[in-house]
Structure 1
Amino acid sequence: MFKMIQSIKPKQNHLDEKMTINLGSFYTPKILVSKAYELLEKYIKNLKEYTFLDSSCGYGDFFTQDLDYIGADIDEMALNKVKNAKSICTNSLFEVHRSKFGIKDNQKIIIIGNPPYNDKTSIIRSEIKKELHSCDEKLRHRDLGISFLRSYELLNPDFVCVLHPLSYLIKEANFKALKDFKLHFRLIDDVVVSSEFFTPKSSTFFPIIIALYEKTKQGMDYEYIKKYTFKTLEQHTFSLSQFDSINHYICKYPNPKDTRKAVAYFHPLRDINALKRNKTFIQNPNKNAIKIFKENLKYYIYIHFFKKYAHLLPYYFGNMDIFIDNASFKSIEDELLAWFYQKKYNEEKIKTYFLHYFTNLKDKNA
């Protein structure tokens, strides 16, 4: 896929790297815009009945059809390039209401676009991240993308069709952070794509969802998301409910108050992509280390080897928790413990286990 993505990589040339990251300004390739309209056309007979709002429109990449478009952005220079839409230079996260965008209360609207996602607490390029503009208190979050999703609920659209990190849905803490948006909107269709479309030179790619939400009375809860079947651009499918999380067997975060005798120490855990970047076992314990005890040692060794072969997993698993098949895991349990205690062990057996496990996952979800 790399060559295809490289050839269609969108360009923006008026922002330097710092401003690009702080504004979350990565513009959207035509193939992804087309996918968003394909989702909309599956559920809406006549798009001309709606006004389309992109409240972080950048160059106006989504304004491709003969429709009623309104484009807003804080970046005035980007708005100068917008065509085929009424454009408004404004901070779309401040004093949010329909009249701000010239939309009447009885107007049928669809929100589209690729809002910024810039987690200001992330360690990735954190040295150049900062908060650039004001935000309504109700919308404030460390990640701009979640702030934008919260803002959509205030505008009361009929549908929302936007790109955002899949982690907003599959990580329970992020999902809860959506607040009123998840109470009034439900995910009804999707296409999951790789962040390689936007950052092809990155060492790690994460899943981005083109998500179609419909305004509903029932909204959605996390159980709905766990059972939902996600679909990728490459025609794979997956559901969180098909995986057993390693979190059921270990502690992910520092546990200094646990007074049991530790047999080893481990780096704090997040998701699979973070595991690829971080250490596993720690030789010199510190206040941020996880204490490991004899009864759960085998699971941390499993994580250590999971990391070794995690590069074999497709990008769309990147923001998931580390997973395990606890029943089949027993077949390599003794080998893992032998490795830890520096005894003779069968490394080929461990390798074969993970190759088989990961290959079956990809084949099963094809």
Structure 2
Amino acid sequence: MAIAKAERLMNLALCLLGTRRALSKRELRDSIEAYVEAFQRGSAGSEESFNRMFERDKDDLRELGLVIETVENLDGDVGYLARRDSNRLPPVAFDPEEAAALGLAAKVWQQARLAGAASGALQKLRAAGLPEETGPESTHGALEPRIPVHESAFEPLMLACRDRRPVAFDYRKSNAVRPEPRQVEPWALECWRGHWYLAGFDRDRGAERVFRLSRITGKVRSRAGRFTAEVPDVVTVRETVASWAGEGGEGTARIRLRTGSGYPLRARALSVRELGDGWDELEIPYGRGLDAWLVEFGPDAVVLGPAELRADVVDRLRAVAKG
């Protein structure tokens, strides 16, 4: 819904809810700024244009659930109002499990700007009687969930995903030294193994792409206009990133890894064997994109096999060295 229309509907709803008597179309037209401006800009048929706009807005509010009454006054004019008792929501009630889930959700975003809004909402719910599970009997008190958000690109991208707004940013690939400009229609953000990723439509490449937020340099810039590509019903961010990292691969790769490093690799290892002299040998699943992930570990990881994986990693490292 466009911001201008949403604001107009909100103002109309507030007028109808705030009046003690039914208001005529003329009174509403003269009370709501958007209607006044539309009427003043109009030509001889501006009254008809206003009537069409008002009827659409009234129907939209009714579809949203607002109960609007039509009343005829003594002069025969038709007026409108929305009585508060007819539009009062039922009391909000939560069972202990739902209350615990809300409490956990409010703790998740402690490192993002959402923390204040989440905490404020939870305080209001508690003031209204939301049960709080505390004490030794609490089954959730020991849980302290966190979603780390260190990247400055997170918040503008989150808002762009919500508002369906194209963005532009500079992005450095794993095998590149210098970032490249990207124009993206953002679809969804998702956290996978401690890193945030953005899925969207890359306009320059004309295809779906996934971007790691830690590789975005500089500011995320908003772009005017609408999306040019259809947003899929299901955006598989994790599955895409997992395939790049070799998750679900049919083969295996042998990696020599420096002792005390590469914990994400060790977590996926099928077997680990000590080689001595500060090195271990790991066997890990091998799938498409594993070479890009291994490059990130720099000199701490050496590919022993298969040969094509070793060649791909060497090519990426040479590309970085040339840059």
Does the alignment reach a TM-score above 0.5?
no
More strand by share: 2
Please report the TM-score for the alignment, with normalisation by the length of structure 1: 0.21
Higher relative contact order (CA 8 A, sep 6+): 1
State which structure, 1 or 2, has the greater radius of gyration over its C-alpha atoms. Answer: 2
